[in-house]
Structure 1
Amino acid sequence: MSETTHDGAPPRAEGPSPAELAARYGLSVSGARPSLPEYVRQLWGRRHFIAAFSRAKLTAQYSQAKLGQLWQVFTPLLNAFVYFLIFGLLLGGRGGMAMPEYIPFLVTGVFVFTFTHSSVMSGVKAVSGNLGLVRALHFPRASLPISFSLQQLQQLLYSMIVLAVILVSFGHYPTWNWLLVIPALLLQLLFNAGLALVFARLGAGTPDLAQLMPFILRTWMYASGVMFPLRYMVEERAGWPAWVADVMEANPATVYMELMRYALIDGPHHASLSGNFWLMAVGWALVLGIGGFVFFWKAEERYGRG
């Protein structure tokens, strides 16, 4: 005698569940976060997109201005001129440096810090400012903050041409030390990309962060010795103990600026540099580069969902 259900129909044969079928045929949840190695492979596969996207953003940045891409150089130069008037002339913040050493010191600091500043500001809005792209296409979202960091590197390279002219104009001619610019910039790029990834995730969840960041970055700039020798200002002008200067010099913005200044500038204030700066540069690059990447990856499936 065959079994029937309460309504008289024969019982249905139980088949595999949807989850079992998905596992059997290799299907996965749409938008699910891939494993970290797989995410790295996907990102490497989009390397041409990352490069093209950064170039397109760089070209479009000043497309509406009459001077166009020249503003990539004019903006940090004008900032350096304002800081020179205030800190170099009015406030006497040169720390004993003569003008031929101080002006390259100032311009180098402004250009290098602008690289980090712009990378962070672009990173904050990398996801929240490109929601149409994030929601329309499937790609590793880390492509966006990384491409913005590359964009800022390209912008800095244009500025470096002007910086080289300024250096030569003040008697700082090319030496073998100038080659140290290459590893210094690569380490700073890794650091900036990691920082951009951190703030891209934070900015995706809190869009108002983009309004707060200029104040945070301005404070960071004043605490990093962009416009004045940090140790001179801390120990001699403020009268604070030497360990305070040691702590402030360990901040990454100062580290990368000092590496660039040592590589490019000749003078009594830049005749030597502690090897600790290179160790700190590598440390900051690895901690923020790897840590920022993992931090961003952990929220991969949430970007563009809100």
Structure 2
Amino acid sequence: MSGARPRLVPYARRLWSRRHFVTAFATARLTAQYSRSRLGQLWQVLTPLLNAAVYYLVFGELMNTKDGVDDYVPFLVTGVFVWSFTQNTLMTGARAISGNLGLVRALHFPRAALPVSYALLQLQQLLASLGVLAAILLCCGQPPRLSWLLAAPALALQTVFATGLSLVLARLAARTPDLAQLLPFVLRTWMYASGVMWSMAHLLRDDSVPAGVRVLLEANPAAVHLSLMRYALIDGYGTAGLPPHAWALAAGWALAAGLGGFVYFWQAEERYGRG
């Protein structure tokens, strides 16, 4: 690849023209990911379900975080499925360049196609899991309702946000591979601060929480996405579970991360695979 960085708009157009490559790459990776396991792609569903079971035992029962949370099982399972999508998108995105150096050095294509492909892969996995999530909601007395349609725009905003952040991590990890080893600890901390296993609304009603901490928790993009999905899918979650201006916050985070991440990644386009 030439040393000159391509211009941003033509670069975006080239990436769009390679959308079939992005889709094919994501599908191939998805098929190969579980090819050596007996249960195959069932692990797409089993992994978040097993995580939810562990979190229910540790947090719901032993730490009693289910106290005061109506329909805790749908609350928890929705949170785990949605958080797993964000976490896996960032983890795979961080290795998109550093883990595909042979492909990067051998072929000429927009390098952003790799982290975008991995984000699409995780979206495909989540969509395959939503049927199981819907079945769990039905078994827990959550019948289908019109608000379920709100899950589509909520998921779209979350996908743009996670993809933009994965582009940032892909560039950083391309130069500092050790970042991929540190990332799980950062994500675990973020998960605990996002209300995956406990009610953020209950904490924010606590007067002992400092005002600055309250603002940070309400603006936390992961917590906002969780709240929107729970509001859409769980009857009785109500607007009390949503932070103020939740949709505006989600849209703002999606725009900032999506556009900012794309530009940040593009700025180092000519350096990927070198050195």
Q: TM-score, normalised by structure 2?
A: 0.96
Kept after mapping to 1: 8 A contact 2:93/2:170: yes
What is the match of residue 220 of structure 2?
251
What is the match of residue 85 of structure 1?
57
Q: Distance in 1 between matches of 2:222 and 2:147?
A: 20
| Cα displacement (A) at 1:159 | 1.1
Matches within 5 A, 1:220-299: 220-233=190-203, 235-236=205-206, 239-241=208-210, 244-267=213-236, 269-270=237-238, 273=242, 276-299=245-268
| Cα displacement (A) at 1:246 | 3.5
What is the match of residue 163 of structure 2?
193
Kept after mapping to 1: 8 A contact 2:224/2:249: yes
Q: Following TM superposition, where does structure 1 have runs of at least 4 consecutive aligned residues deviating by more than 4 angstroms? A: none
What is the match of residue 13 of structure 1?
none
Q: Distance in 2 between matches of 1:72 and 1:140?
A: 28
What is the match of residue 127 of structure 2?
157
Matches within 5 A, 1:119-158: 119-158=89-128
Q: Distance in 2 between matches of 1:202 and 1:261?
A: 32
| Cα displacement (A) at 1:245 | 2.9
| Cα displacement (A) at 1:97 | 1.9
What is the match of residue 106 of structure 1?
76
Deviations 1:158-204 (A, max 9, x none): 11111000000011111110000110111111001100100000000
The one of 137, 147, 159 aligned to 1:177: 147
**Do structure 1's residue 44 and structure 2's residue 40 form an aligned pair?**
no
Further displaced range: 30-39 or 210-219: 30-39
**Do structure 1's residue 71 and structure 2's residue 43 form an aligned pair?**
yes
| Cα displacement (A) at 1:232 | 1.8
Matches within 5 A, 1:198-217: 198-217=168-187
Given residue 238 of structure 2, which amino acid in structure 1 is its aligned partner? Answer: H
Further displaced range: 244-253 or 206-215: 244-253
Deviations 1:16-57 (A, max 9, x none): xxxxxxxxxxxxx82421100110111011010001001111
Q: Distance in 2 between matches of 1:217 and 1:73?
A: 20
The one of 255, 265, 270 aligned to 1:301: 270
Given residue 181 of structure 2, which amino acid in structure 1 is its aligned partner? Answer: Q
**Do structure 1's residue 166 and structure 2's residue 136 form an aligned pair?**
yes
Paired residue total: 274
Mark the CA change 1:271 to 1:255 in structure 2 (over 3 Å): closer, same or farther: closer
Q: Distance in 2 between matches of 1:31 and 1:68?
A: 42
Q: Distance in 1 between matches of 2:69 and 2:51?
A: 20
Structure 1, unaligned runs of 5 or more: 1-28
Q: Distance in 1 between matches of 2:208 and 2:43?
A: 39
Q: Distance in 2 between matches of 1:164 and 1:263?
A: 12
Q: Distance in 2 between matches of 1:30 and 1:206?
A: 23
Further displaced range: 171-180 or 270-279: 270-279
Q: Distance in 1 between matches of 2:255 and 2:85?
A: 18
- C-alpha root-mean-square deviation of aligned residues, in Å? 1.5
**Do structure 1's residue 58 and structure 2's residue 27 form an aligned pair?**
no
**Corresponding residue SS for 1:66:** coil
**Corresponding residue SS for 1:120:** helix
Q: TM-score, normalised by structure 1?
A: 0.86
What is the match of residue 26 of structure 1?
none
The percentage of aligned residue pairs carrying the same residue is 61
